[in-house]
Amino acid sequence: MITQAIIPLAGLGTRMLPFSKVIPKELLPLGNVSILERILLECEDAGIKKIYLIISKKKEIIKKYFQDDLFLESKVKNQKSLIKKLNLLKKFKKKIKFIYQDTPKGLGDAVYKCRKLINSQHFLLILPDDIIINKNCSKQLIDIYKKKISSVIAVKNVKKNMVSRYGIAGYVKKKSNVLNINYLVEKPSLKLAPSTFAIIGRYILNKTIFKYLASSKKGKLGEIQITDALNKMLNDGEIFSGCVFSGKYLDCGTLNGYVKSLKLIGGR
Ligand code: UTP
């Protein structure tokens, strides 16, 4: 059973500057809820019971977003639709635990902060920049996990001229929507890319990853990423399935992508 999810939010969000100086990109609205609430709704619908939100001191406003505000509640107590929205936050609050990453040392380091909290063999990792609408992507990964009892990574076939923007998954076999992954590479040139299947921010991972992250070295940007650890796990025999998910992918990590997503979603 996959019941625990890690959602790292402690990155600097430099691609969303200057807005991200004061507003975490995850709290920006996308339709009638914030980006983060969309992710939490996806978790809830996928049967997740405990959610670890990794934040930093600079992003404590995320914590505040989920705190009760009795004064405001009393002001809108007769407006049912607003009370419903505030109640949704209260509901999420019960499932959330905030974990701190004091310095942004990379996604791998952020995930490592949860090493003592994961108590089943596999857990869900969601990167909130990647929004998938119309279908629950986490649920699709969990369905594959139930059949394979392996690690699962969401992948999307991208155009050749886009491979250098993504992590890319090499594979040995593809059956229906499932790849048998044998190699992962970060932002390769087209020449070096093992396929055109891009890694999108949904993973089901074996908690053995913590052992690999413990010995991971800093990469090019001085950050600990997760790709090296995942490749080492692959080399040691861990099975990784790629889930070619259905649903529409929206990139909410850049201003351009966010504005496009906002236009597409409208008030939904
Ligand atoms: P990114 O590498 O995309 O970075 O992080 P970012 O900070 O979100 O945005 P840019 O690149 O500066 O514009 C991928 C995910 O990992 C989290 C981010 O919050 C994001 O959800 N992250 C990244 C951390 O939690 N801690 C880190 O040290 C780095």
State how far the Cα of 213 lies from the Cα of 217, in Å rounded to an integer: 8
Asked whether the predicted pLDDT for residue 135 surpasses 90, the reply is yes
Average of per-residue pLDDT values in the chain: 96
129 CA from centroid of ligand 1 (Å): 9
Ligand 1 pocket mutation pick from 62, 129, 225 by most atoms within 8 angstroms of CB? 129
Tokens 């299947």 label which residue? 197
Give the residue, 222 or 119, on which the prediction is more confident. 119
Domain holding 30, by residue range, is 4-265
176 lines ligand 1 (CB under 6 A): no
What CATH number did the domain enclosing 185 receive? 3.90.550.10
pLDDT band at residue 119, thresholds of 50, 70 and 90?
A: very high
Residue of 6, 15, 58, 107 with the most ligand 1 atoms within 8 Å of its CB, for mutation = 107
Q: Is the CB of 58 under 6 A from ligand 1?
A: no
Q: Is 222 a residue whose pLDDT tops 90?
A: no
- What band does 39 get if pLDDT is binned at 50, 70 and 90? very high
pTM of whole model > 0.75? yes
Count of structural domains, the chain: 1
Q: How far apart are CA 258 and CA 17, in angstroms?
A: 13
Q: pLDDT of 3-30, one tens digit each? A: 999 999 999 999 999 999 999 999 999 9
Average pLDDT (217-240) is 92
Cα of 166 from ligand 1 centre, angstroms: 14
Q: How far is the CA of 14 from the centre of ligand 1 (A)?
A: 9
Using the CB atoms, write b or e for 17-45: b if 16+ within 10 Å. eeebeeebbbbbebbebbbbbbbbebbbe
Q: Is the CB of 54 under 6 A from ligand 1?
A: yes
Ligand 1 center to 103 CA (angstroms): 12
